Structure 1
Amino acid sequence: MAHDLRLGVNIDHVATVRNARGSGYPDPVRAGVLAAEAGADGITAHLREDRRHITDDDIARLAATLTVPLNFEMAATQEMLAIALRHRPHAACIVPEKREERTTEGGIDAAGQQERLAPLVGQLREAGIRVSLFIEPDPRQIAAAIQLGAPVVELHTGRYAELHGVEPGDGAEELRRLTDAAALAAKNGIEVHAGHGLTYDNVGPIAAIPQVRELNIGHFLIGEALFTGLGEAVRRMRREMDAAR
């Protein structure tokens, strides 16, 4: 079934649990298959340079196994470019990466790194891989994405997620920034995705932004899966998203 608003499920933290014991389980590839069966439109996996969760073998098996699109999150490095070109995922999302961070802490500075990013974007596109840039909801970053020829941007919703629901009205300004950025990107022919820190409680206003075509959600869903099962967690998120449209 084609959805007006797609749900991409990030399975990185299934690998985090596996790696905590150095075992072969739980298997992130199995999680990807189960998420797809429950209604996920795609699967996202971030191969970090330090391999703290997803591994090279995971990417190879995901690329060979999934029947839904694989979104390969990658740092802007030659190593990750080579891996993307080897496996040819449906999509590659270029994200910032710092070894000391627990998780991705913000969007990539596309405006300040155009010279570095341009060759990567070009080579990925030439290989038939859909390129997205994970950016802040900032007009400067949208302008850089346009200049780089990126067909997709993923707007970082982390700040919105931190503020939402703390006090009445909290997060409203960040939601406005996201809404304005989505409209600006779409006006210039860029497909808009969004993600980071989204939960059942805060996903509605983001899902309601008409220009947003895809949400990528991971950590929360894997956490909920401990209590309800991954299939039910995905199905409920799908319902929350659909209700907002």
Structure 2
Amino acid sequence: MAERLRLGVNIDHVATVRNARGGAAPDPVRAAQLAVAAGADGITAHLREDRRHIRDADMERLARELTRPLNFEMGATEEMIALAERLKPHAACLVPEKREERTTEGGLDVVGQRDQLVPKIARLKAAGCRVSLFIEPDEAPIAMAAELGAPVVELHTGSWCEALTHGETDAAEAQFARLARGAAHAAALGLEVHAGHGLDFDSARRLAGVPEFVEFNIGHFLIGEAIFTGLDAAIGRMRAAMDEGRGL
């Protein structure tokens, strides 16, 4: 029987709404707790250099209060590595980060940044964090992730989801095939394979049919859907879509 996919819920954009008014509501930690109650297997939060959504105090509370694994998304900077060493989240996912981008635009350049990443990954592992690398679903970065000793890769699904959004059928099929090949290659190298960026009910359902994937991390879509249906209903529907795609 196929294994059930894990669902990680990213609560960044609850903080985006909070910060738009500069107050305390809505509280992203409360959203994380509600997500767990609704069936999330873990919580993801990205503390950006410019603190545009999640703030240091949010990370402190998440690390202290969560009853499910915390996945700390972070740029590979000294500031973030030191914070992860102190907070000791379950997982640390290294992502590329540019101040001017609206959201993470692609995978981390693990090939070009190999020498800088080696000591940072070692420090995170020494702190007890399960290191994940957010990368493109291509052979070179996947092979480098394995060489670097990261146990997990999260494959960037943004190019596929963008093609789907714009109705670019041929491009979408090519990107889906790229993801499936990447997942198979990563799993063959002994890596645990996650996916994320831009997934919605339909795309998560289809991607769940690729057996090498173990976990999806989904945020913006679920928080947006929660405006209309509530967070528990949105997570429940996503969980059902993933289970259907996996054949459960």
TM bucket normalised to smaller: over 0.9
Where does residue 4 of structure 1 map in the other structure?
A: 4
Q: Deviations over 1:155-205 (max 9, x none)?
A: 000000011261444411111111011111111110000000000122122
Runs of 5+ consecutive residues of structure 2 not aligned to the other structure: none
Where does residue 159 of structure 2 map in the other structure?
A: 159
2:136 pairs with 1:136: yes
In structure 2, distance between residues paired with 1:128 and 1:161 = 33
Where does residue 224 of structure 2 map in the other structure?
A: 223
Contact 2:187 2:212 in 1 (8 A): yes
Where does residue 182 of structure 1 map in the other structure?
A: 183
Q: Deviations over 1:70-101 (max 9, x none)?
A: 00000000000011011000000000000000
Where does residue 126 of structure 2 map in the other structure?
A: 126
Where does residue 51 of structure 2 map in the other structure?
A: 51
Give the secondary structure class of the aligned counterpart of 2:223: helix
Q: Deviations over 1:12-40 (max 9, x none)?
A: 00000000000100000000000000000
In structure 2, distance between residues paired with 1:145 and 1:205 = 25
Counterpart of 2:156 in structure 1: which amino acid?
Answer: H
In structure 2, distance between residues paired with 1:168 and 1:24 = 43
Counterpart of 1:79 in structure 2: which amino acid?
Answer: E
5 Å matches for 1:198-237?
Answer: 198-237=199-238
Give me the TM-score of the superposition, normalised by structure 1. Answer: 0.97
Runs of 4+ in 1 over 6 A off after TM superposition: none
What is the aligned length?
243
Where does residue 192 of structure 2 map in the other structure?
A: 191
Counterpart of 1:143 in structure 2: which amino acid?
Answer: A
Counterpart of 1:192 in structure 2: which amino acid?
Answer: V
In structure 1, distance between residues paired with 2:55 and 2:196 = 22
Contact 2:18 2:27 in 1 (8 A): yes
In structure 2, distance between residues paired with 1:167 and 1:129 = 39
The root-mean-square deviation of aligned C-alpha atoms, in Å, is 1.0
Counterpart of 1:8 in structure 2: which amino acid?
Answer: G
Q: Deviations over 1:123-159 (max 9, x none)?
A: 1111111000000001000111011001000000000
Runs of 5+ consecutive residues of structure 1 not aligned to the other structure: none
Give the secondary structure class of the aligned counterpart of 2:54: coil
Give the secondary structure class of the aligned counterpart of 1:89: coil
Counterpart of 1:17 in structure 2: which amino acid?
Answer: V
2:62 pairs with 1:82: no
In structure 1, distance between residues paired with 2:128 and 2:210 = 28
Where does residue 244 of structure 1 map in the other structure?
A: 245
Counterpart of 1:162 in structure 2: which amino acid?
Answer: E
Give the secondary structure class of the aligned counterpart of 2:202: coil
Q: Deviations over 1:195-226 (max 9, x none)?
A: 00000122122111100000000000000000
Contact 2:163 2:169 in 1 (8 A): no
In structure 2, distance between residues paired with 1:49 and 1:216 = 21
Percent sequence identity is 63
Contact 2:193 2:212 in 1 (8 A): yes
